[in-house]
Structure 1
């Protein structure tokens, strides 16, 4: 297994096996949990290699990275998913390049995205990011504001609201992490009961995706476990 993990193909296979195992451990069908590979900080050559292994959607934190990689990899027809905190002044770039935004967390961003998308004649899927952690470094909409926010989003026809996203607290205590994920699952159920179609739950990353799957995640965002250790210096 060590040799296998030295290659991108081997790490991808291991990540998929881990997802399958986490699903089976909680009696879930693995087909109900999607994988979003997170390619932030990795170059276009690495993304091209991943695309050669059948991956078509890639999560990125920074719009500038999407712009650079999308230009170089345009012939591959990849889908770019914004998962990082998004400033309103990046809305035009996102509208031109992204297929999805998973970090929608406030009304002014919805306004900016809708305006830019209408100018492009496009509509994209979005997930509402909820803040379930007490950490100042985490962003997202307060969960108690979710239903009112979803109601406001109905006015923006270019934004197809599909579900919720969260980043759990960075903690060694599994109970704390699971509680974050469980809170979002409960919010999703409450929103669904209120008439909103928010089926998707993007929860869990390389270090905690098994816990997220146990708490109902339908998509896990995995970066380092597939691509390797990141270099944040460039």
Structure 2
């Protein structure tokens, strides 16, 4: 095993232990939580090594990095998740490789994603990004729609050809009432998911939690955790 592959294998094993322990503590089955490895800033060679180590879900947040990486790994059976704030001029590119866009936060983006998916003949999973630091009608500092905007967006996705509503996503807020209260934030997201699933039972994906707070996310009931640093190491600073 190469040095980098051994390093990734060790890190993955450590993250796996954490997820398994968090599931056990919460009385959940390990298979109820999917690990998504966030590969942003790391090369396609790392994605290939992760695939060899059993990873099947990877995430990116910038199309200019993700598109060439996805192309270089097109022969692998991977599910690509787009998790960054998405401008409509990048939509056509993103829909060419992403299986799920986790950062849907405005009707204009829904329209653009649907048109691009139709053009490309693809079905696209969508998560509504919820901003728990946003007031009514506002958008969050890191993207996302306020909780009272979820229903409008869900209806837009329902009505959009080639889009599938998979559930909700959040990033633990740095400001507002949930700042520094990750568990409370993720509990709130689960409450919102319960409301959404009452009318859309298939939209049962809840993406929450990163390297520092995955235990809180699993305890709250997240179905997917997005882990970068704990698997790949501390990211190089972007210039």
> TM over 0.5, yes or no?
yes
1:170 and 1:177 in contact (8 A); partners too: no
1:139 aligns with 2:157: no
SS of alignment partner, residue 161 of structure 1: strand
Q: CA deviation at 1:227?
A: 0.5
Q: 1:153-168, aligned counterparts within 5 Å?
A: 153-168=157-172
- How far apart are the structure 1 equivalents of 2:38 and 2:107? 26
Deviates more, 1:194-203 or 1:47-56: 194-203
Could you say what secondary structure the match of 2:20 adopts? helix
Residue 20 in structure 1 maps to residue 25 in structure 2: no
CA distance in 2, matches of 1:174, 1:50: 32
**What are the ranges of 5 or more consecutive residues in structure 1 without an aligned counterpart?**
none
Equivalent-residue separation in structure 2 for 1:142 and 1:62 (angstroms): 23
Q: CA deviation at 1:155?
A: 1.1
Q: 1:201 aligns with which of 206, 218, 230?
A: 206
Distance 2:238 2:208 in 1: 27
Aligned to 2:42: 42
SS at match of 2:181: helix
Work out the number of aligned pairs and report it: 229
Residues 97, 175 of structure 1: alpha-carbon distance in 2 compared, 3 angstrom cutoff:
closer
The answer to whether structure 1 residue 118 and structure 2 residue 118 are counterparts is yes
**Over the residues paired in the alignment, what is the CA RMSD in angstroms?**
2.1
Residue aligning to 1:29: 29
1:107 corresponds in structure 2 to 107
Judge conservation of contact 1:88–1:112 (CA < 8 Å) in 2. Answer: yes
Is the 1:85–1:139 contact (alpha carbons within 8 Å) kept by the matching residues of 2?
Answer: yes
Aligned pairs for 1:189-228 within 5 A: 189-195=194-200, 197-228=202-233
Cα displacement string for residues 133-158 of structure 1 (whole angstroms, at most 9, x for unaligned residues): 36963210110111222122211121
**Pair 89,216 (structure 1): closer, same or farther in 2 beyond 3 Å:** same
Q: How big is the shift at 1:75?
A: 2.5
The reply to whether residue 179 of structure 1 matches residue 180 of structure 2 is: no
Structure 1 stretch displaced more, 199-208 or 176-185: 176-185
- How far the C-alpha of 1:120 sits from its partner, in A, is 0.8
- Indicate the residue corresponding to 2:80 in structure 1: 80
- 1:195/1:208 CA distance change after superposition, 3 Å: same
Aligned pairs (5 A) from 1:88-103: 88-103=88-103
Residue range with higher mean Cα deviation, 127-136 or 178-187 = 127-136
